[in-house]
Amino acid sequence: MSEGILEVSDSSFDSEVLQSEIPVLVDFWAPWCGPCKAIGPVIEEISKDYKDKIKFVKFNVDNNPVTPGNLGIRAIPTLILFKGGEQLEQIVGMVGKPKIEETLNKSL
Amino acid sequence: MKAADYDLVIIGSGPAGLTAAIYAARARLNVLVLEKVAPGGQILVTDWIENFPGFPEGISGADLVMKMTEQVRRFGVEIETNEVLSLDFSEDMKKLTLNDRTISTKTVIIATGASPRKLGIPGEEDFFGKGVSACATCDAPFYRDKVVAAVGGGDTAVQESIYLTRFVKKVYLIHRRNELRATRILQERAFANDKIEIVWDSVPTSVNGSIFGVESISIKNVKTDEASDLSVDGCFIWVGISPNTGFIKDALEVDKSGFIVANAKMETSVPGVYAAGDVRNTPLRQVATAVGDSAIAAFEAANYIENL
């Protein structure tokens, strides 16, 4: 899908997300999800504005079923913001840039 | 007339907005497309489109919209992510207030489409994303070998229920009447699918569950008033659409359901302002009708500008 955003898996979720020093926004997506494909570029654009403050990663739920199962994810796109290993915010469904930015700003 | 920022501003970038952009660019109009979220609209959640000509095998909604977007960009049109907060049509030069600025334009095509309607029953909002969904192509794989409810009886409800059966063990299709409204070919497929059980004459009254998500849906038979619960892991709701017209307020004439009133030339109650696609009061809401509306709307907008 989009370039430049780290793809995290079940095996790297702990080290890349839960153990991260800075907050992490995880974009749970799958190739069969049209809205996920559509908001991919939006998230990539936002990621540039939050460089060094928030880490942006993508998580393919199709290849990695364990983590979404543990988190109770039953819909995508789902965006979850983690800070210090805890879930801080969650956005489900296709939303616009202002809504995502508003959610991220709350955590900064 | 004073110089306007644009000849034409197109609000929305689903199939209607994108088609208008292609026609406007080819008419050499100075055009801006505004999109609130991302290009596509409702067809992004459509798994497979079988009734748009030119794709004999069918095409996914996401792929079709990507091809349309590519075509728009090829003609040099910019799609800006921004939201129209309000409209001012009191003068010939129309003004649109966006998130970050106000722009002026000679003409406007409103192609903001529609969104899935909600049932408004307890649990629906609370369990959104935790079992309640309106997008089978997004969420069906989370319900592999599970039992789900689908609510509705139109094309979307029936087509998406059939799609769900690729993953789930069973779909209860809950419909308030004793016959479906969906097109015949879809009805035939649903009746022939042994994973679909149609629950006739029934309406949902609440979605129930726990911190783990949806666990059941309560329904009521509208003829007997008998109430019952169905154990389900998910609930998909397809009970029609509402127009995305919140920003219009009273700037244009709308019908009693809120769809913009426009004539065969796509002209609304304000000269130079056109409506196209699902947002218009139209008897049929399809990709094919949206692109047709938009070709006319862009043509009429170009004519209007020529005669200013």
| Residue type, position B228, single letter | S
pLDDT in tens, chain A (108 residues): 445 799 999 999 999 999 999 999 999 999 989 999 889 989 999 999 998 899 999 999 999 999 999 999 999 999 999 999 999 999 999 888 889 999 999 888
Structure tokens, B50: 């079988």
Min Cα separation B57/chain A (Å): 18
Task: Measure the CA angle with vertex B22, ends B21 and B28; round to 5°.
Answer: 85
The structure tokens 């003609």 sit at: B75
Query: How far apart are alpha carbons B49 and B53 in whole angstroms?
Result: 10
Q: Secondary structure of chain A: what % helix, strand, coil (to 5)?
A: 35, 25, 40
- Least confident segment among A2-16, B115-129, B148-162, B207-221: A2-16
Min Cα separation A76/chain B (Å): 6
- 8 Å CB contact of A74 and B46: no
Query: How far apart are alpha carbons B100 and A97 in whole angstroms?
Result: 13
Min Cα separation B223/chain A (Å): 34
Query: How far apart are alpha carbons B203 and B215 in whole angstroms?
Result: 17
Helix ranges, chain B (H): 15-26, 61-74, 136-139, 155-164, 184-192, 287-306
- Give the residue on B whose Cα is nearest the Cα of A73: B130
- Which of B83, B142, B146 is the best substitution to test chain A (most A C-beta atoms within 10 A)? B142
Query: How far apart are alpha carbons A81 and A89 in whole angstroms?
Result: 5
Q: Please report residues of A whose CB lies closer than 8 A to that of B138.
A: 30, 32-36, 75-77
Question: Who among B129, B138, B212 is closest to A33 (CB)?
Answer: B138
Query: How far apart are alpha carbons B284 and B301 in whole angstroms?
Result: 23
- 8 Å CB contact of A78 and B60: no
- A93 given a catalytic annotation: no
Kindly name the residue from B63, B88, B92, B138 that is annotated as catalytic. Answer: B138
Say if residue A46 is exposed, middle or buried (CB neighbours under 10 Å; 0-12, 13-18, 19+): middle
Residue B283 burial (CB count, 10 A): 5
Reported ipTM: the value is 0.82
Task: Please report how many Cα atoms fall inside a 13 Å half-sphere around the Cα of residue A42, on the Cβ side.
Answer: 25
Q: Please report residues of A whose CB lies closer than 8 A to that of B99.
A: 98
Per-residue pLDDT at B176 exceeds 50:
yes
Query: How far apart are alpha carbons B186 and A95 in whole angstroms?
Result: 31
Task: Measure the CA angle with vertex B304, ends B302 and B306; round to 5°.
Answer: 70
Q: Please report residues of A whose CB lies closer than 8 A to that of B130.
A: 72, 74-75
Task: Measure the CA angle with vertex B224, ends B222 and B226; round to 5°.
Answer: 90
- Give the residue on B whose Cα is nearest the Cα of A42: B38
- B138 given a catalytic annotation: yes
pLDDT of residue A4: 73
Query: How far apart are alpha carbons B248 and B268 in whole angstroms?
Result: 12
The structure tokens 């793809």 sit at: A7
Cβ pair B42, B286 in contact under 8 A = no
Beta bridge partners of B203: B220
| Residue type, position B267, single letter | E
Q: Does A6 touch chain B (CB under 8 A)?
A: no
Structure tokens, B267: 């002209």
In this predicted model, what pLDDT tens digit does every residue of B68-95 receive, in sequence order? 999 999 999 989 999 999 999 999 999 9
- 8 Å CB contact of A96 and B83: yes
Q: Please report residues of B whose CB lies closer than 8 A to that of A98.
A: 83, 99
pLDDT of residue B225: 97
Query: How far apart are alpha carbons B41 and B13 in whole angstroms?
Result: 7
In this predicted model, what pLDDT tens digit does every residue of B22-53 receive, in sequence order? 999 999 999 999 999 999 988 898 888 999 99
- Which of A33, A48, A74 is the best substitution to test chain B (most B C-beta atoms within 10 A)? A74
Min Cα separation B274/chain A (Å): 25
Q: Which fold has domain A5-105?
A: Glutaredoxin (3.40.30)
Say if residue B278 is exposed, middle or buried (CB neighbours under 10 Å; 0-12, 13-18, 19+): buried
Query: How far apart are alpha carbons B48 and B72 in whole angstroms?
Result: 22
For residue A86, give the 3-state DSSP assignment. Answer: strand
Q: What is the DSSP letter of A91?
A: E
pLDDT of residue A3: 55
- 8 Å CB contact of A35 and B40: yes
Q: Please state the domain extents for chain A.
A: 5-105
Quote the crossing angle between the two packed helices B15-26 and B287-306, to the nearest 10°. Answer: 40
- Give the residue on A whose Cα is nearest the Cα of B213: A72
Kindly name the residue from A8, A25, A26, A36 that is annotated as catalytic. Answer: A36
